[in-house]
């Protein structure tokens, strides 16, 4: 028995004639950018040969979109507006959505009650997809969004085995580059201020720090490691802890520029000159790094480009949604980092 309805060619017949999968045909019809030129041409020829016309009900359903995308940041307003990371990320996301004529919905989710309200909002199909930033390791929200059938992409990841689509930076490489730079400056008692260790980004930068010390033949003493929380106050507290434990330290790798700024204030208060007594390196290459005294050596991660890239991935997933294959691997991208030397080291 033919799979045709009312004698009309089916999507499956187009796929068979074009020699591609059903999902590929759907992506071509829905205008997804995630299709090779060769596949696009093959589908176009098959559509023309068979006289295929998309089912109007299905097309209407696939087209019933809100033209809105949610960017979810599980942080307070104070952190959102004080940290260049989030502002640069929003700039990249906003620019890419503007090019796609999509509306940006910025949402802060800080408590379980807020998370539940947001899930109810998503279940009502108010947005076409979700971007997630600054996700901690135990956050269930990415999996809950996927369970609702909504496309989702994260910046960063919760673990090494992250199942959800993400865009990340080479955070291990960032730590290694910072330590290699400090070793090259003749430093040997190199401490680090990590981020919160329930976040993969913090664990990865700490892993890079330890790998850099091992490559230089230096001891990775636990007394040289203090945990921060990516805030300036966290950097201050961690720096005091490090000076109490290791007063002869001669360098510090802070896992963010903002924490490096906090550390710089404590070093100055303790009479330690930067970089003469203690060399200092951060991560992000933000405006904070450029405005510090002295200007901060920092490992640049392309935050705005991360925002653009995760948005492009999400838009591709939205376009693919009608013909998505549940078994298809989630898209993932890791962008390179680059050390930018300045006077602090």
Q: Is residue 128 part of a domain?
A: yes
Same domain? For 310 and 292 the reply is no
Q: Is residue 58 part of a domain?
A: yes
CATH number at 49 reads 1.10.260.40
Q: Is the pLDDT of residue 132 over 90?
A: yes
pLDDT tens, position by position, 175-232? 999 999 999 999 999 999 999 999 999 999 999 999 999 999 998 899 999 999 999 9
Q: Is the pLDDT of residue 310 over 50?
A: yes
| Adjacent-strand bridge partners of 300 | 284, 338
Q: Is the pLDDT of residue 14 over 70?
A: yes
User: Quick one: pLDDT band at residue 236, thresholds 50, 70, 90?
Assistant: very high
Considering only residues 217 and 58, tell me which one the structure prediction assigns the higher pLDDT.
217
Count Cα neighbours of 160 within 13 Å in the Cβ-side half-sphere.
Answer: 5
Of 35, 62, 89, which residue is a domain's last?
62
Residue in the block written with tokens 């940041």: 73
Alpha helices in 270-302 (DSSP H): 287-291
Same domain? For 134 and 186 the reply is no
Same domain? For 285 and 226 the reply is yes
Pairing of strands 279-284, 338-340: unpaired
Q: Is residue 199 part of a domain?
A: yes
Instruction: Tell me the pTM.
Output: 0.77
pLDDT, residue 164, reads 92
Same domain? For 111 and 260 the reply is no
> Average of pLDDT values for 272-282?
98
Same domain? For 296 and 311 the reply is no
Q: Dihedral angle at the C-alpha atoms of 227, 228, 229, 233, nearest 10 degrees?
A: 160
Q: Is the pLDDT of residue 145 over 50?
A: yes
Q: Is residue 254 part of a domain?
A: yes
pLDDT, residue 11, reads 74
Cα–Cα distance for residue pair 153/133, rounded to 1 Å: 9
Q: Is residue 289 part of a domain?
A: yes
Same domain? For 190 and 290 the reply is yes
Question: Residues 340, 302: contact at Cβ < 8 Å?
Answer: no
pLDDT, residue 234, reads 96
Residue 222 burial by Cβ neighbours in a 10 Å radius (0-12, 13-18, 19+): exposed
> Average of pLDDT values for 284-291?
93
Of 28, 46, 62, which residue is a domain's last?
62
Same domain? For 234 and 284 the reply is yes
Of 8-17, 172-181, 306-315, 318-327, minimum mean pLDDT range: 318-327
pLDDT tens, position by position, 43-56? 888 887 877 665 54
Q: Is residue 345 part of a domain?
A: no
Q: Is residue 241 part of a domain?
A: yes
Pairing of strands 279-284, 225-227: unpaired
Same domain? For 223 and 294 the reply is yes
Structure-block tokens of residue 222: 């636990």
> Average of pLDDT values for 270-278?
97
List strands edge to edge, sheet with 297-300. Answer: 225-227, 190-194, 251-254, 279-284, 297-300, 338-340
Residue in the block written with tokens 């059938």: 149
Same domain? For 182 and 163 the reply is no
Q: Is residue 53 part of a domain?
A: yes
Considering only residues 100 and 292, tell me which one the structure prediction assigns the higher pLDDT.
292
pLDDT, residue 7, reads 59
User: Quick one: pLDDT band at residue 99, thresholds 50, 70, 90?
Assistant: confident
Q: Is the pLDDT of residue 3 over 80?
A: no
Structure-block tokens of residue 323: 């013909």
Cα–Cα distance for residue pair 16/117, rounded to 1 Å: 44
Convert 299-318 to b/e letters by CB count within 10 Å (16 or more is b). bbbbbbbbbbbbbbbbbbbb
Q: What are phi and psi of 43, to 5 degrees?
A: -65, -45
Domain range for 250 is: 171-300
Same domain? For 283 and 176 the reply is yes
Percent of the chain having pLDDT more than 90?
Answer: 58
In the chain, the number of structural domains is 3
CATH number at 125 reads 3.40.50.2300
Cα–Cα distance for residue pair 183/216, rounded to 1 Å: 7
Q: Is the pLDDT of residue 260 over 50?
A: yes
Of 43, 62, 81, which residue is a domain's last?
62
pLDDT, residue 325, reads 54
pLDDT tens, position by position, 211-225? 999 999 998 899 999
CB atoms within 10 A of CB 190: 26
Q: Is the pLDDT of residue 73 over 80?
A: yes
Same domain? For 270 and 221 the reply is yes
Residue in the block written with tokens 């503007």: 98
- For the chain, the average pLDDT equals 88
Q: Is the pLDDT of residue 57 over 60?
A: no
Q: Is the pLDDT of residue 39 over 90?
A: no
Same domain? For 115 and 83 the reply is yes
């Amino acid at each position: 028995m033919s799979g045709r309805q009312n004698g009309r060619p089916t999507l499956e017949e187009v796929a068979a004639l074009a020699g591609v999968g059903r999902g590929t045909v759907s992506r071509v019809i829905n205008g997804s950018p995630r299709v090779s030129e060769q596949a696009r041409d093959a589908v176009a020829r098959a559509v023309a040969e068979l006289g295929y016309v998309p089912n109007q009900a299905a097309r209407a359903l696939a087209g019933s979109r809100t033209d809105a995308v949610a960017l979810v940041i599980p942080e307070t307003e104070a952190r959102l507006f004080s940290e260049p990371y989030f502002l640069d990320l929003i700039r990249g996301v906003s620019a890419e959505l503007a090019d796609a004529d999509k509306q940006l919905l910025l949402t802060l989710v800080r408590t379980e009650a807020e998370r539940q309200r947001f899930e109810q909002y998503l279940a009502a199909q108010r947005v076409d997809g979700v971007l997630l930033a600054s996700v901690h390791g135990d956050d269930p929200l990415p999996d809950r969004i996927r369970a609702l059938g909504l496309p989702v992409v994260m910046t960063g990841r919760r673990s090494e085995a992250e199942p959800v689509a993400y865009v990340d930076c080479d955070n291990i490489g960032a730590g290694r580059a910072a330590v290699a730079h400090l070793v090259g400056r003749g430093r040997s008692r190199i401490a680090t201020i990590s981020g919160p260790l329930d976040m993969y980004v913090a664990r990865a930068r700490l892993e890079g720090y330890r790998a850099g010390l091992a490559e230089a033949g230096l001891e990775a003493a636990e007394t040289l490691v203090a945990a921060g929380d990516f805030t300036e106050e966290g950097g201050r507290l961690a720096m005091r802890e490090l000076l109490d434990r290791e007063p002869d330290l001669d360098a510090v790798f802070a896992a963010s520029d903002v924490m490096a700024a906090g550390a710089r204030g404590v070093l100055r208060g303790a009479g330690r000159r930067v970089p003469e007594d203690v060399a200092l390196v951060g991560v992000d290459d933000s405006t904070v790094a450029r405005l510090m005294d002295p200007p901060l050596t920092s490992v640049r991660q392309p935050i705005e480009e991360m925002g653009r890239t995760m948005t492009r991935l999400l838009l591709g997933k939205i376009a693919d949604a009608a013909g998505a294959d549940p078994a298809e691997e989630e898209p993932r991208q890791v962008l390179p980092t680059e050390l930018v030397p300045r006077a602090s080291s």
